[in-house]
Structures are given as C-alpha cells and as structure tokens.
Amino acid sequence: MNTSRRLILPASAFALALVATPVNPDILNSTAALAASVSVSSESHSASGQGGAQSDSHSSASATGAGASAAADGSASAHTEPANNLVKGVADSAVSTHAGATGGTDATTGEDTTDASTADGDTAAQIASVGPHPGVIGALSADVDLETAGAGAAANGSASANAARLTDASTTSANLIGSSSGDGEAHGLAAALAESSTFPEETSTGSFSRARSFIGLSTSGGGTIGGTASADTSSGPTTSTGSDGEVSASSSANADVSAKSVGDGTASATVDIIVDSDGSVDTAARTAEASTRADGSSEATNDGAGTDASASGTGNAAVEAGIDNETASSSASVSPSTSVSTP
C-alpha cells in the first residue's frame, strides 16, 4: 500500500514599531516595517509486497526574519510476511524525518536572516526465497540511507528481515538502525544467505552447507548506525543404503557479523563458511570411501573514533561409510573469527 502526504504552508506576519519624538511634537513619528516568512514541506511513502518492505520520507523547513519559526515532520513504515511451501519470513522498514528552522535579523545591518534545514530517509528490507538451487532459504538484505542538513534537521530509520525454512532449523536475519542530525549522513547495508542441500543416491550420499553474512556502514557529521546479520543452516544426516552397505553424511554452517559507525567513520564485516561431506560404498569391490571439506573466512575493518566491527563463523562436516568389515569416516571443521574497534 502506498501513502503520500505533501504540505505547503506559506505564512507572513507584520509588526509596526512606533518611535515617539517627545522633544518636538511637530515632528512625525517614524515607522519601521519588519516581515517574517516561513515555508515547510513533507513527503512520505511506503510500499510492501513480493518479499520486500520500503519506506521513504522527506522534510524541509525555512524561516526568514525575527519571530519566524517552521517545523515539518514525516514518517512511513511498511511490513510484509512472505511465505511459500519452503520459507516463511518477515520484513519491516520504518523511517521518520524532522526539519526545523528559526528566522532572525542581522545584529549589525538589521536585515532579515534565513534559517533552513532538510532531512531525507530511505529504508528497505528484502527477502528472496529463491536461489541457484532449492537449498537456498532466503537472501536477506536490510538497507538504510539517511541524510540531514541544517541545525534543525533529524532523521531516524530502521530495516530488518528474517526468514526460516519450514523443513529444518535453517534461519537467516539482517537488521539496521540509524539516525542523523544536523549536517550528517548514515548509510548501511546488511545481508545474509544460507544454503543447504543433500544428495542421496543408492550407494552414496552427500551433504552441503553454506552460510554467508555481510555488513557495511558509513557515517559523517551527526550520523550514527549499527546492525547485525546472521545465517545458520544444516543438512543431514542423510543416509543411503546399498544392497549391504550404508553411508551417512551431515554438514552445518553459521556466520555472524555486527558493526557500528558514528561521526566520520566506516565499519564493515563479512563471513563466508562452506562445508560439504561425501561418502560411498562399492558393492562390487566391497570398499568404502569418505571425504569432507570445510572452508571459512572472516574479515572486519573499521575507521574512525567510536567504530567497531566483528565477524565469526563455524562450519562442521562429517561422513561415515561402511560395507562388510570396512568402515571409512571423515570430519572437518572451521571457526574463523575477527574483530576491530576504536575508542
């Protein structure tokens, strides 16, 4: 559903200042005319559907002359709950903006002075329940962009998304909360993706899991933003039985990131975990094979006072295959972790 609002309010006020001249009553009183004017505008929109929620708002205010003041406020929010036979999720976005201004006069010249401010915000959350193969449970993203200018400007925004696969315990989530005031900006993106699949055959089986999370933030002036992203998935155990052999394989992976940025700063973090296991039996040769792989990386960077970022993940893979008196087993694991911070 879309909502919109536009408000334009011109106004004027006049004052007469009479200065009496008691020394000579024949001299006419002198008159000085002062004028004040204000203008404000605000627009807000929101939309939801197809796995996404988006909100944006704009406010501006201007005031000229003594006694003039102006204020404009806007807000929008959106919510959606996508679901199919594989995934169920929730996506939310919200934003609010404020612009304020107070006019005045120059102390030296007496001329009118103008004060102005603007605030803009855009937030979005998206869930994509499709991917390169059915094991993808949802690529989630949360996006926040806030910009303000002028002493009387302020903007606040948030975006979040989470999804769960109905057939197992795999989950993903991403969220951001930010604000900006005065001359400032706050920008952020958080995303997560979880994949898992099994590959059972008559005399072999395999299990694959991947978890990826990312967050990237930047701020300037009066901006601040923080958030997290996580992915958790597992596959198996899956078992395939031949005429007289057996194979079982399983895998799991999780990835978690968080970051914060304030003032003139940046922060980012990423984790990528990939694990798989494969096993088989040869009913003719009467042999068994098992293999596993676990790869993982994490990275965190930051710049500026008050910024921090962290990234961590784990991955585990295991498989066992057996036929007659021969048994083969294999396991692998990874657990990368890193963090940075600046006081």
Q: 3-state SS of the chain: helix, strand, coil percent to 5?
A: 0, 80, 20
Q: Which two tokens stand for residue 157?
A: 């925004």
Exposed/middle/buried for residue 67 (C-beta within 10 Å: 0-12, 13-18, 19+): middle
Please report which confidence band the pLDDT of residue 35 belongs to, taking 50, 70 and 90 as the band edges.
low
Q: Could you tell me where the DSSP H helices lie in the chain?
A: none
Does the pLDDT of residue 111 top 80, yes or no? Answer: yes
Q: Rounded to whole angstroms, how far apart are CA atoms 19 and 233?
A: 81
Report the pLDDT value the prediction gives residue 17, as an integer from 0 to 100.
29
Using one digit for the tens of pLDDT, what is the confidence trace for 257-290?
A: 999 999 999 999 999 999 999 999 998 899 999 9
Please tell me the predicted confidence (pLDDT) of residue 12: 32
Sorted by sequence, the CB contacts under 8 Å of residue 237 that are 6+ apart come out as 207, 248, 249, 250
Distance CA 306, CA 303 (A): 9
Averaged pLDDT of the chain: 86
pLDDT at 238: 84
State the pLDDT at residue 165.
Answer: 81
pLDDT above 60 (res 23): no
User: Of 262, 334, 275, 335, nearest to 303 (Cα)?
Assistant: 262
Share of the chain above pLDDT 70, in %: 87
Question: How confident is the model over 321-342, as a mean pLDDT?
Answer: 95
Q: Looking at the DSSP assignment, which residues form a beta bridge with residue 59? A: 42, 119
Confidence at residue 127, expressed as pLDDT on a 0 to 100 scale: 87
- Locate tokens 């002062």: which residue? 34
- pTM here? 0.85
**Of 54-63, 83-92, 225-234, which gets the smallest average pLDDT?**
83-92
**Between vectors from CA 260 to CA 313 and to CA 256, what angle results, nearest 5°?**
15
State yes or no: pLDDT of 237 exceeds 60.
yes
Which pLDDT tens digit goes with each residue over 195-207? 888 888 889 999 9
Asked if residue 60 has pLDDT above 60, the reply is yes
